[in-house]
Amino acid sequence: MTDINDDPLVIAGQTFASRLILGTAGYPTQRIMADAVAASGCDMVTVSMRRISLAGHGSDTVSLLKGLRFLPNTAGCETARDAILTAELGREALGTDWVKLEIIGDRETLYPDAAELLKATEELVERGFTVLPYCFSDPVLCQRLADRGAAAVMPLGSLIGSGLGVSDPALLEQLCRRSPVPVIVDAGLGTASDAAIAMELGASAVLLNTAVSKADEPVLMARAFRHAVEAGRLAHRAGRIPARRRAEPSSPQMGLVGS
């Protein structure tokens, strides 16, 4: 029998038991956020360096989630220069050289700026960062990011916060098959089945925030995503049957009574 614990996620030589990464923004309360993170079973959480409280108070994110790996992100940055400065702030404040690199090129769609992303990835890697860039589901761009040293790529499933799920399954499957680094689907997932689909298509992990933080019951939704990610990964490893446009009986037709 296959055990999900025998199939850890590995990024830049670091091993994670969970293939779910959870964001920490937008929850009704900090207590609900902490309970949702616990219910998700995740090992790593993202924190925005432009929003997080680093004062060390008992109610802040850092104190509540002590013991987990923090993945600072550069949310809100629009240039490589701003993202690099924000990444350095995260390294100094949280003692980690890991960074989720976000550089937004369009405020309406929140699409990433590919040119700035490539520039920032290359410089951050040179500065010793482990870079996980938020990007398009574009095999060419993802390859170029990997060539510049990205430890993983984080293609959007659909528009940030939209809940539309995986908008182009065929493209995501191709990207997962071709990528030389782990593919972490980031943005647009709305419910547990979306995560299962992303994992079945070959994603190494999923990262989500709004789908949990804005759910009617965030803790319950976090638990649902936990099981969906595990189920999707197991299904991918098991190998699905081919899709057919005709019925095919599951029992043999020879030797039927009366035949």
Residues that are catalytic: 100
Please tell me the distance from the alpha carbon of residue 96 to that of residue 71, in angstroms, as a whole number: 8
Query: Where does residue 152 rank: exposed (0-12), middle (13-18), buried (19+ CB within 10 A)?
Result: buried
- The answer to the question of whether 24 is labelled as a binding residue is no
Query: Where does residue 80 rank: exposed (0-12), middle (13-18), buried (19+ CB within 10 A)?
Result: buried
- Running DSSP on this structure, what letter comes out for residue 168? -
- The answer to the question of whether 73 is labelled as a binding residue is no
- The answer to the question of whether 56 is labelled as a binding residue is no
Q: Which residues contact 79 (CB under 8 A, 6 or more apart)?
A: 103, 116
Please tell me the distance from the alpha carbon of residue 112 to that of residue 102, in angstroms, as a whole number: 7
- The answer to the question of whether 209 is labelled as a binding residue is yes
- The answer to the question of whether 90 is labelled as a binding residue is no
Contact 255, 220 (CB under 8 A): no
Name the binding residues: 161, 187-188, 209-210
Name the binding residues for 1-deoxy-D-xylulose 5-phosphate: 161, 187-188, 209-210
